[in-house]
Structure 1
Amino acid sequence: MALGALLLAIIIYYFSTTESSDPPPTNDPFLLDNPVETTQQTAELEQDPPQPETVIVDVKGAVAQPGVYPFTTEQRVIDAIAQAGGYTEAADTKQINAAKRLQDEMIIYVPQIGEEAMDLSMPSFPSTQEATTPQVNINTADEAALTTIPGVGPAKAKAIISYREQQGAYQTIEDIKNVSGIGEKTFDKLSEYITVK
């Protein structure tokens, strides 16, 4: 009787240890999912880095060739200045953050020496709180600065300078209507871009 109980205990022990040492079933969803996740993560790491986007930037003020130019988001303000022909001799470069990255719809305005700084380096959107339009002093601006005013080309810029040399400084911005070629309609378009000081 004792021998039979001993044999039964040995048989139970044998089967219990055999079952616990069996490998886990291959249909375990956790084991099946892991290789897929690992493959996906590896594929994501192997993807190409994002390409820089194309942006359009408006360069104004004391630069040789003001205008609208295409760049990429990897480029900086100094690249835009160079594309616009570089600074003029009258440019106040101390007011420009040349290291700033470019953004779409960005306005870069380079002031002249003595001109008040304006932060137009961010994309411009209409604002009811403050004006974001750079104003040109028609009493002191040279031909290059005057041509940055919408609607004013080289001929009108020369006429504006000629008038103030002959008649004296402009007292109000409305006085610019006395210049040949600048009527009421033209004045309405450029009035927000000019000032007298």
Structure 2
Amino acid sequence: LASPTSSVASLSTSTSTGISSLSTGLSSTDSSVASLSTSTSTGISTATSSIASLSTSTSTGISSLSTGLSTTNSSVASLSTSTSTGISSLSTGLSSTDSSVASLSTSTSTGISTATSSIASLSTSTSTGISSLSTGLSSTDSSVASLSTSTSTGISTATSSIASLSTSTSTG
């Protein structure tokens, strides 16, 4: 049971040369860096973001597969863009601002994967890699590639609340 919870003005940056790196944090400032928050769920994976959250990343790997239940709730100013170079890509996000990058969000879940976004969300991801789930909120402009993924063999809950920035880079 892994429950990484982040709240206010924290910046978590991870660099992984393997597979399954999880980066979760909050930042009250703008960012233009590449972020990777990685998740592969064989159980229940819940990524919840609420206010002014930016999750950005760039991943290079091999394909994408989605199996199981995927539930995405979106409420305000919804922008959903998906491009799949594999199987089953899901891109979901809310955006009240401009975005200038290609959004590819792929999630791999053999259990139940729930991505919930609420206010001023911008989810942009470019993935040519394995199991990418991009979910985030942003009240500001962003021009970077966003990829948010998590790896859980049980129950993984990543919760971000205010001005969230999750940053990491994975080449595995």
Structure with larger Rg = 1
Choose between structure 1 and 2: higher helix proportion.
Answer: 1
TM-score (norm 2): 0.23
Choose between structure 1 and 2: higher strand proportion.
Answer: 2
TM-score (norm 1): 0.21
